[in-house]
Amino acid sequence: MEPFLRIINIPMTSIEKLKFLSEDQVRSIAKQYGTPVFVYSQSEIQKKIDEALHFPNAFGLQVRYAMKASPNVNILKMMQAKGVLIDASSEHEVTRAIAAGFAPSSIMLTSQQFPKELESIVKSGVMFNACSLRQLEAYGQSFPGKEVSLRFNPGLGSGHTKKTDVGGVTSSFGIWHEKLMDVQAIVSKYNLKVTKVHTHIGSGSDPEVWKAVAKYTLEYAEAFPDVTVVSLGGGYKVGRMADEKSTDLQKIGEPVKQLFVEFSEKFGRKLVLEIEPGTYLVALCAALITTIDDKIDTGKNGFTFLKLDTGMDANTRPSLYGARHPLVTVKQDPSVKIEKVEEYVVVGHCCESGDVFTQKEGGEPITRPMQTAELGDFVVMEAVGAYCSAMSTKNYNSFPETQEVLLTSTGEIKLIRKKQEIPEIYRNEISVF
């Protein structure tokens, strides 16, 4: 009996398309490296870097890459080549950035956990961004009279879900804005020199919220006369799906630029603007090529499922907060013409109920209209450059770390992360039997 399929009357033109790869490239890469495999585009990353470097500013701009988004050494080196600085979220990322060639002075450490090796990190030249009163106190005890950056929670946040909103009363990130006097007391106690103030409101920032937070952050700068840099964090909205729009950096930046001008006119201080994109710089610049391993259905009133040879061990964003990624069918046989659109629930290979690539936030599976797909065909998952390989549930079910390749600006394909050997997964285990 043929499996039940929901064939729907949706025009081919409305189906998601490949972003930077051709179908022939998909087949060629899959043949050479196998699947699953991440493919990053050097040209697309460089284009996004250039866009960020042209962010509107009044008195200077610093672009700082949130390396947690995608820390492969090759991506870090692309950032470094264009003068982008590093935002590190742990002392381990500091080590990784230095190993990639970044000078310590080009790195800022903004860490939820107080770094165990703070003394050596700061002495090397890394800037410390204090995220709590406890962190500031401990820093002051170790480095009285030294420069420091301060991260504030401005009381506002923005994100496409609460899980990507890192501002407001539900967020533990940063020093609560009403504790400004406590901050000033610690700064005075240890004679610290505050040279930067920083806020971060979340991923997918609302332009109006971002403008309001910029205003508040400048007020924090007003309270510390040695501040020369104001860092406005917050991942700009990236339209991964065809029905989503990406943030226009010029549009969002102009009102903020004017706020810096007004601050200068009022206080005679020309502050440098710092932004710290992660998602914006890499999200749309990578694709994950997968193969359909199985295709099943759950009857007339159920669904048709495509089972891929990848899962949450490569991209956990859908299972974590219902994130959507374009899914594009590429026929294994180039002579086969796709003429139908069908609805599928697309799932991963992990033995885990949450390993579903087409789901609502909360876990309910939903269908996705796609071009007809069969066993052995490829499904290309687009817009996986940020918080996918870096944030996956690596080695769950003992699946090896997914390999990565780079499509260079000259059209070459180069391996930049080899597939993990199975013994590497359990190398650090110690048998006591």
Catalytic positions, please? Answer: 351
User: Residue 67 has what DSSP assignment?
Assistant: G
Assign 125 to helix, strand or coil: coil
Instruction: Calculate ∠ Cα 348-351-353, nearest 5°.
Output: 75
**Tokens in use for 193?**
């020199």
Q: Which of 356, 412, 384 is nearest to 19 (CA)?
A: 384
For residue 259, give the nearest of 201, 207, 218 by alpha carbon.
Answer: 218
Burial bucket for residue 37 (CB in 10 Å: 0-12, 13-18, 19+): buried
Q: How many helices (H) and strands (E) does the chain have?
A: 12, 18
3-state secondary structure of 398: helix
Structure tokens at 85: 């600085």
The answer to whether the CB of 175 falls within 8 A of the CB of 216 is no
State both tokens at 222.
């007003």
Q: Which residues pair with 347 in a beta bridge?
A: 307, 356
Amino acid at position 23, single letter: E
Instruction: Please give the backbone phi and psi of residue 313, each rounded to the nearest 5 degrees, phi first.
Output: -75, -10
Reported as type and span, the H/E element at residue 62 is: strand 61-66
Q: What are the tokens at 340? A: 């139908």
For residue 135, the Cα-to-chain-centroid distance in whole angstroms is 25
Q: How far is CA 58 from CA 232, 256, 281, 396, in A?
A: 14, 9, 22, 48
Contact 379, 372 (CB under 8 A): no
